[in-house]
Amino acid sequence: MLAGFFVVWCIILVGWFVGRQKILGDNARQVLSSLTFFVASPALLFETLSKARLAEVFAAPLLVTAVAAIATAGIFFIIARRWLKRPLPESLMSSMAASLANSANLGIPIAVYVLGDASYVAPLLIFQLAFFTPLFLMILDSSTSSHRTTPLNFAVMVLRNPMVVGSGLGLLVAGTGWQVPPLVMEPIHLIGGAAIPAMLIAFGMSLNGTRPLQAAAARRLDTLLASGFKLAIQPALAYLFARHALGMEGHALFAVVVTSALPTAQNVFVAASRYKTGITVAKDTVLITTVVAVPAMIGVALLLT
């Protein structure tokens, strides 16, 4: 497990150095992120899930992911509204920051190098892309005066997501038992192989030039609470539910706890910018959890071994 984390951190550090020295230019991170999101990651997910057992993807791990994420978001929302006295849209955005995981850019590499198989992150990807994120955005739409979106529009948005398409096609192949011809699978395999290094290099580049917890923003407590919920409360809830309610143990238990401890997704900051609420908490939580997540997951590994 430590060897897997070491590989991940080495590639992240390469990305940080490349970004700091501006070796690839100013737009390199955006280009790499787009490459992984629209091309390489869907190919990797298709190849991985086409060989997966559907009973393992849609069984206990998916239920643990859903329960831990919804419970974390619900508890944090109550704290933000009742204790911190934040407006409804800001409370929703902070709850999103406290519970929505970076299932792609860091989740897939962690699943491959630490858990041993990219399919371990599939339940999290499917739950967030198909249900959790659209649910948050629909509620935000209903609580703001602009960007009204219908459920039909959200359904179309979800189905147009390349991660959903790649995962869905892979699950379709797995469910039908169809064997993809090697001549077709080989280019998919090569393209998918670019996903993990490109993700981690882009991720490392994103760590340059940002300082969280600025006093002028006046949201330090919100940020620290959201970061703590994401890296500690959510994996703790996942462990308690998986271990004591479902009786999971061993590597399966370790996998659901580690994926629950992934950092806040960068999409949260994108959503905050769109709705013009909770921007500081979203940005700072993404940065803090991103930096602290790998040491936190190493701690999870030590506790569960």
Angle at 16 between CA 12 and CA 22, to 5 degrees: 140
CATH numbers and ranges of domains, the chain: 2-304 (1.20.1530)
Q: What are phi and psi of 211, to 5 degrees?
A: -120, 115
247: alpha, beta or left? (left if phi > 0; alpha if psi -120 to 50): left
Structure tokens at 298: 């190493």
Query: Distance of alpha carbon 163 from its chain centroid, rounded?
Result: 12
Half-sphere exposure of residue 54: CA atoms within 13 angstroms, side-chain side: 12
Per-residue pLDDT at 168: 82
| Per-residue pLDDT reduced to its tens digit, 250-262 | 888 999 999 999 9
Task: Report CA-CA distances (Å) from 305 to 65, 250, 251, 299.
Answer: 21, 9, 9, 10
Could you tell me the pTM of the whole model? 0.76
Structure tokens at 98: 């406290």
Which helix H or strand E contains 45, and what residues bound it?
helix 41-50
pLDDT band for 217, please (50, 70, 90 cuts).
Answer: low
Structure tokens at 136: 């948050």
What mean pLDDT is reported for the chain? 83
Per-residue pLDDT at 154: 64
| Per-residue pLDDT reduced to its tens digit, 294-304 | 788 888 878 87
Structure tokens at 173: 């192949």
Task: Report CA-CA distances (Å) from 7 to 14, 22, 30, 124, 185.
Answer: 11, 23, 23, 22, 26
Per-residue pLDDT at 59: 79
> Average of pLDDT values for 73-87?
94
Closest CA to 232 of 124, 98, 92: 98
Per-residue pLDDT at 92: 93
| Per-residue pLDDT reduced to its tens digit, 176-204 | 888 889 999 999 999 988 888 887 888 78
Per-residue pLDDT at 149: 60
How big is the chain, counted in residues? 305
Question: Per-residue pLDDT for 212 more than 80?
Answer: no
Closest CA to 226 of 190, 168, 272, 276: 272
> Average of pLDDT values for 230-257?
93
Higher pLDDT, 140 or 285: 285
Structure tokens at 269: 């900051």
